Amino acid sequence: MIQGWKAVLAFAGLAAFAAVPSASFAQDSMQSDSMKKDDAMKQDSMKHDDMKQDSMKHDKMMHDDMAPGKDAKTLFTGTFHGQVHGTSGRATVYQTADGKKILRLTHFKTSNGPDVHVILIAAKDSKDKTLSSDLERIELGKLKGNEGDQNYELPENIDWAKFQAVSIYCERFNANFGAAPLVKF
């Protein structure tokens, strides 16, 4: 009878031992499935981040081949200084051979932001983080890119004695990203 019990216990032990690897395999399988799902989610997230990066690249203009021709005359120039965000580069006003005036930003760099515009302001400079609502401005257009050379056509008959600075301005937050006081060249 004792031998019978030993056989039953031995058989039960073997059965338990055999069950451990299958439970372990099931757990490994569940972890593997979970890890595959995590990897898939990470890849989807990375694809989304890549798409965001691609869309942000459109905000950068590394070069603009619209440089004024050799016959263009330099009228005014100034260097950007940052206010709310680091802003650097040069703003230059050119008059082309046909009489048009162009504002050219070169080696330009600023932060990315919503609703950012290039404006001329009726001041010698702007060291303020915001622009007062009664400050006269001439809208030149939305900022074409937060990096790189770019041109903006200027309207005719600007009073240069009054509008003496360029501002990179965020309308949504009334934030002066940076300004360039213009001096006669």
SS3 for 114-139 is CCEEEEEECCCCCCCCCCCCCCCEEE
| pLDDT of residue 157 exceeding 60 | yes
Q: Classify the C-alpha dihedral 118-122-128-130 as positive or negative.
A: negative
Find the range with the poorest average confidence among 24-28, 84-88, 120-124: 24-28
Q: Are 90 and 67 in contact (CB under 8 A)?
A: no
Token duo for residue 31: 């972890």
Q: Is the pLDDT of residue 80 over 90?
A: yes
Separation between Cα atoms, residue 66 and residue 13, nearest integer Å: 84
CA 79, 166, 85, 47 torsion-angle sign: negative
What pLDDT, in 10s, does the model give residues 42-59? 454 444 444 433 333 344
Residues 123 and 49 in one domain: no
Length of the chain: 185
pTM recorded for the entire structure: 0.65
Q: What pLDDT, on the 0 to 100 scale, is given for residue 33?
A: 53
For 96, the token pair is: 């082309």
pLDDT of residue 130: 85
Q: What is the pLDDT of residue 53?
A: 35
The whole domain housing 86 covers 73-184
80 and 47 inside one domain:
no
- Residues 101 and 73: their CA atoms lie apart, in Å, by 9
Residue that is last in its domain, among 34, 58, 82:
58
Q: What is the pLDDT of residue 124?
A: 94
Query: What's the whole-number average pLDDT of the chain?
Result: 78
With respect to residue 67, please indicate whether it lies within any of the assigned structural domains: no
Shared domain check, 127 and 178: yes
Residues 46 and 115 in one domain: no
**Is residue 74 classed as helix, strand or coil in its secondary structure?**
strand
Per-residue model confidence as pLDDT tens digits over 84-108: 899 999 999 999 999 999 999 999 9
What's the pLDDT band for 12 if we cut at 50, 70, 90? Answer: low
Q: Extract the tokens encoding 89.
A: 């580069």
**Residue after which a domain boundary falls, among 35, 58, 81:** 58
Q: Residue 7's pLDDT band (boundaries 50, 70, 90)?
A: low
pLDDT for 55: 36
